[in-house]
């Protein structure tokens, strides 16, 4: 079933061992990171980590995110990251922490040859603005955080379908379903026309469950409950 999908699977994380593991899997077509994931993984030297990963990940796109809040420093960081390797996409957050739009910067970078990934996008207005700015520039990505939309009680499917329609008019832009919450999101991303879905380790390890026989899965669940009760030595 996975081989029938049009959506590309990207591994999302900053653990070196996990990145190298998934790099060996041909199902994984690219990689994404962010400062939060890097901090959680214990990364202390941003550039050293990135260059170490790039020594292995040379054949697939990988996104690294700027961490400055002022646009002049964002630009400096973005241009430096873009020089690390030809497969680097530079993540630019859709706004800075003061809610000032980063779209103008993202567009300028894209039109100067930097591969941009506009990230932390949650609204269709943001998608439209990003698509307009990136259109005609370098190959770029727009990461819509569908999982965070779902976390607010809203159905992300209509938003992602509309976002895919907006992006479809621009040959240099691909749409990412970001922040997934479950394996099902892969198939939802595919159905809505997203080009890419980013998957953390906890979802990637569930890929083996795709198409699994539900009767067998039911039996595994029953055995799990039984074995755990036995291990706990419960008595009534």
53-90 pLDDT, tens per residue?
999 999 999 999 999 999 999 999 999 999 999 999 99
**For residue 101, is it within any domain?**
yes
Q: What is the tens place of the pLDDT at every residue in 77-136?
A: 999 999 999 999 999 999 999 999 999 999 999 999 999 999 999 999 999 999 999 999
- In terms of residue numbers, what domain contains 163? 2-208
The length of the chain in residues reads: 236
Asked if the model's pLDDT at residue 47 lies above 80, the reply is yes
Provide mean pLDDT across the span 201-227.
97
Asked if the model's pLDDT at residue 2 lies above 90, the reply is no
Name the CA dihedral angle for 194, 200, 201, 206, rounded to a multiple of 10 degrees: -40
Whether 126 and 160 have beta carbons less than 8 Å apart is answered as no
- Integer-rounded Cα Rg, in Å, for the chain is 19
As separate numbers, helices (DSSP H) first and strands (DSSP E) second, the chain gives 11, 8
Provide mean pLDDT across the span 196-225.
97
Whether 14 and 38 have beta carbons less than 8 Å apart is answered as yes
Write out the catalytic residue numbers.
91
The total of structural domains in the chain comes to 1
183 three-state secondary structure: coil
Q: What is the residue-averaged pLDDT of the chain?
A: 97
**For residue 60, is it within any domain?**
yes
- Give the rounded percent of residues in the chain with a pLDDT score beyond 90: 98
Whether 196 and 10 have beta carbons less than 8 Å apart is answered as yes
Q: What is the pLDDT of residue 1?
A: 76
Q: What is the pLDDT of residue 186?
A: 98
75 three-state secondary structure: helix
**For residue 221, is it within any domain?**
no
Whether 142 and 130 have beta carbons less than 8 Å apart is answered as yes
Q: How confident is the model at residue 3 (pLDDT cuts 50, 70, 90)?
A: confident
**For residue 68, is it within any domain?**
yes
- Burial track 172-181 (b if 16+ CB lie within 10 A, e otherwise): ebbbbbbbbe
Indicate which CATH number applies to the domain containing 88.
3.20.20.70
**For residue 171, is it within any domain?**
yes
């Amino acid at each position: 079933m996975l081989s029938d999908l049009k959506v590309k699977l990207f591994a999302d994380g900053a653990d070196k061992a996990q990145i190298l593991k998934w790099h060996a899997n041909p199902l994984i077509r690219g990689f994404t990171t962010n400062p939060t994931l890097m901090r959680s993984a214990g990364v202390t030297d941003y550039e050293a980590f990135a260059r170490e990963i790039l020594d292995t990940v040379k054949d697939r796109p990988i996104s690294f995110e700027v961490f400055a809040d002022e646009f002049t420093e964002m630009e400096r960081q973005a241009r430096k990251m873009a020089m690390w390797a030809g497969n680097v996409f530079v993540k630019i957050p859709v706004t800075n922490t003061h809610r000032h739009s980063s779209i103008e910067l993202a567009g300028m970078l894209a039109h100067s040859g930097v591969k941009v990934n506009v990230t932390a996008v949650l609204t269709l207005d943001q998608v439209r603005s990003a698509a307009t700015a990136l259109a005609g520039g370098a190959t770029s990505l727009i990461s819509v955080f569908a999982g965070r939309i779902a976390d607010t009680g809203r159905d992300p499917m209509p938003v992602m379908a509309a976002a895919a329609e907006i992006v479809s008019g621009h040959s240099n832009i691909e749409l990412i379903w970001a922040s997934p919450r479950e394996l099902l999101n892969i198939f939802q991303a595919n159905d809505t026309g997203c080009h890419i879905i980013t998957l953390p380790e906890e979802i990637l390890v569930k890929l083996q469950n795709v198409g699994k026989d539900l009767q067998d899965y039911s039996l595994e669940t029953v055995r799990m409950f039984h074995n755990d009760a036995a291990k706990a030595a419960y008595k009534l």
